[in-house]
Amino acid sequence: MPEVDVFRGLPIVGGHPAVDFVNTILYSIGQDYLASYRGLVDWAAHQGIIDEAESAELMALDERSAKAEAALAAARSLREVLKALILAAIDKSPAPAETAESFRRFYADAMTNAALEWRGELVAYALKIGSNDPRIIVWRLTKLAADLLTMDHQGRLRACVRRPDCHWVFLDTSKGGGRRWCLPGVCGNIHRLKTFRQKHAAVPQ
Ligand SMILES: [Zn+2]
């Protein structure tokens, strides 16, 4: 299998930054990568959501400042909302109205801070979200999440086959589209071992 990108022990396997965002809890060891403001900035920089200069600026902000605390709280809240929306999309059923309403508020907030910017190299406009407020991470993730949720993913947005034992989701970007696990070397092996044991337990002694 292709080499997996890893951020401080966290495998990046979502196939889309908004999906990776909901996979920021490593359940096997109980580690939440959004436990602190600096953790959030560090993860966002690794994912390319903020550039080096923005990362340096946001890292310089006092972690206990109201701005930093607000950004972290918003990020953690968005992660919950997005997880519910992604799982609803996977299950092909609409999420509760209050979840959709929460996302609408995140989106409205993000768009308030967005502007059209001409990208000469692309010969197109891009929706640029820029500010020295640490909530740019949340605003940009909201925009990415809206793109993900409104795209026709053709059944490629999936939960790991080990759900609910595994909480991870992914966008299958493989050529054949037959991906089943978050990590074949972890969940795939556990699944195969379980199937093997079940098969052999069924054989009469
Ligand atoms: Zn899994």
Separation between Cα atoms, residue 79 and residue 14, nearest integer Å: 14
Separation between Cα atoms, residue 173 and residue 179, nearest integer Å: 8
Q: How far is ligand 1, taken at its centre, from the CA of residue 77, in Å?
A: 23
Mean pLDDT of 39-49: 97
The pLDDT value given to residue 76: 98
Q: How far is ligand 1, taken at its centre, from the CA of residue 52, in Å?
A: 31
The pLDDT value given to residue 7: 96
The pLDDT value given to residue 131: 84
Q: How far is ligand 1, taken at its centre, from the CA of residue 199, in Å?
A: 21
The pLDDT value given to residue 132: 87
The pLDDT value given to residue 205: 52
pLDDT in tens, 27-43: 888 999 999 999 999 99
Name the 3-class secondary structure at 31.
strand
For the chain, the average pLDDT equals 93
Mind giving me the DSSP string for 159-195? E-TTTTTS--EEE--SSS-----S-IIIIIHHHHHHH
Whether pLDDT at 204 is above 80? no
Q: How far is ligand 1, taken at its centre, from the CA of residue 109, in Å?
A: 33
Q: How far is ligand 1, taken at its centre, from the CA of residue 200, in Å?
A: 23
Instruction: Identify the weakest region by mean pLDDT among 22-26, 81-85, 196-200.
Output: 196-200
Q: How far is ligand 1, taken at its centre, from the CA of residue 4, in Å?
A: 14
The pLDDT value given to residue 24: 97
pLDDT in tens, 58-113: 999 999 999 999 999 999 999 999 999 999 999 999 999 999 999 999 999 999 99
Q: How far is ligand 1, taken at its centre, from the CA of residue 63, in Å?
A: 32
Q: How far is ligand 1, taken at its centre, from the CA of residue 127, in Å?
A: 34
Mean pLDDT of 4-32: 95
Q: What are phi and psi of 200, to 5 degrees?
A: -80, -25
Cβ 147 vs Cβ 175: under 8 Å: no
Which residue has better confidence, 197 or 99? Answer: 99
Q: How far is ligand 1, taken at its centre, from the CA of residue 204, in Å?
A: 31
The pLDDT value given to residue 189: 87
pLDDT bin (cut points 50, 70, 90) of residue 17 is very high
Whether pLDDT at 203 is above 70? no
Q: How far is ligand 1, taken at its centre, from the CA of residue 84, in Å?
A: 17
Q: How far is ligand 1, taken at its centre, from the CA of residue 167, in Å?
A: 7
Whether pLDDT at 122 is above 90? no
Q: How far is ligand 1, taken at its centre, from the CA of residue 12, in Å?
A: 12
